[in-house]
Amino acid sequence: MMDEDKAGQDERAREILRVNDRGGYTVPTARLYPFQWNWDSALVAMGWAMFDEARGWREIEMLLAGQWEDGFVPHIVFHAPSEDYFPGPEVWGLAERAPPTSGITQPPVLATAVRWMLERARARAEAAARAAAIYPRLVASHRWWVRARDPHASGLVTTLHPWETGMDNSPAWDEALARVPRETTTPIVRRDIAHVAAAMRPRAEEYERFIHLVDLFRGLGWSPEKMLAESPFKVVDIGTNAILLRAERDLLVLARRFGSVAERAEIEARIARQGAAIGRLWSGAGGIYFSADLIANALIPVSTSAGMLPVFASEYGHAAALAARLRAWAEAVRWLVPSIAPDSPSFEPQRYWRGPVWPCMNWMLADGFGAAGETATARLLAEAMGALIRASGFYEYFDPCDGAGLGGTDFSWTAAVALLLPREGEGDPRF
Ligand code: GLC
């Protein structure tokens, strides 16, 4: 990308973050997503930090204002009411909390963002003070993951709702989700398809099952033990587990500065356990990591972009094979990285997590492949993102075949990823 192009794109990206700023937190996009989302915020905080470090820290502090007493970090924090989104705080039955939140979580990118911001800070004293105050919250959040979602210390955490994976309608969840009944006690009032074409969103049937799970968990009082015992949807998501392992490694770096000897030992033990366990999700036959269905007690043989995320977790044993796989995908589609293998029968290039390119994935995978020494692959992912934004705009996701922009417009994490992209000739494909 030419420098002038990059400068113009960066200016537009900063403008999008400012427009989506609701006073300390950033909505993913106006109307479609009018609250603060968990993993969006981690990316957005880094984007802000590229030009306003104090605002970047604020983003994280606002998300953590929604953290529960037991360490749980919700997937949505409802800072202010809005009519534009379903299911709102009443459906979660958590409207009385201050601030109201959802009752499920999302992939934990937060510790990674905090380390990233701390290490790149120009205002070093302020960054150290803010990171030190955030650090105990991150420790509590990682302890929650293990206590609530891996009580037997297998090294792999369980996900109980497709929304928790951040990849809502991924074909990887089709079979597991089919076991969830369609009946809901909450009447479904979809607001998303008033903002975006239905063909780019999950189907009605998936939505019913999503809400069935919310109804069930609300009825269980959001008790982690009961949810884990009773959920009809129970998967080990390779994406969440890889992101958590990466977050643990970043938390360890923070603990060396802010934590106790005991905390460091605790985090190191989790890293050892998780690192060994994630290897069990590698499929030699598939040439990629798979998620697992805990109810069917089997790996889920669907090749998704999440199946490459162990490189983001600094697991490089299969990095070369994964890079080769990605290059094979690049023969079939014009733009990387499609959310599932383009030769899969479930591939739909415009439908949400069933094919499109998502900026968060390009950022994580470029970072991981770059660190693994797969520089050419990392550069390909970074360049694809820049080119897609240049050609189509700051969309939520993109068609990997023709590059069309899809879903919400002027999207915050797309803007953040654009700001994090290296300039041409900078050499280092790691963000
Ligand atoms: C959708 C995406 C999810 C994201 C959210 C807000 O639900 O699937 O990953 O966090 O929108 O952007």
**Assigned CATH topology for domain 36-379:** Glycosyltransferase (1.50.10)
Residues 98 and 184: their CA atoms lie apart, in Å, by 27
Which ranges of the chain have pLDDT less than 50? 430-431
Catalytic residue among 59, 396, 399, 410: 396
Q: Rounded to a whole number, what is the largest CA-CA distance in the chain?
A: 56
Measure 168 CA to ligand 1 centroid, in angstroms.
8
Torsion of CA 210, 344, 40, 84, to 10 degrees: -50
| Predicted pLDDT of residue 294 | 98
pLDDT of residue 5: 81
Distance from the alpha carbon of residue 166 to the mean position of ligand 1, in angstroms: 6
pLDDT at 425: 55
Question: Measured from the CA of 396, which atom of ligand 1 is nearest?
Answer: 12
Measured from the Cα of 411, ligand 1's closest atom is 12
Which helix (H) or strand (E) element contains residue 398? strand 397-398
Q: Which is catalytic among the residues 53, 59, 150, 168? A: 168
Report pTM.
Answer: 0.97
Q: What is the pLDDT of residue 7?
A: 87
Indicate the top mutation candidate among 17, 40, 354 to test ligand 1's pocket, ranked by most ligand atoms within 8 A of CB: 40
SS3 state of residue 303: coil
Check if 399 is active-site. Answer: no
Best residue among 16, 26, 37, 353 to mutate for probing ligand 1's pocket (most ligand atoms within 8 Å of CB) is 37
Is 168 an active-site residue? yes
- The token pair that represents 338 in the structure block: 């499609």
Tokens of 307: 């199946």
Which are the contacts of 18, defined by CB distance < 8 A and separation ≥ 6? none
Asked whether the CA dihedral 367, 27, 98, 59 is positive or negative, the reply is positive
Question: Cβ < 6 Å from ligand 1: which residues?
Answer: 28, 33, 37, 39-40, 166, 168
Q: How far is CA 382 from the centre of its chain?
A: 17
| CA 87 to centroid of ligand 1, rounded, Å | 13
Any idea where the domains of the chain sit in the sequence? 36-379
Residue-level pLDDT at 174: 98
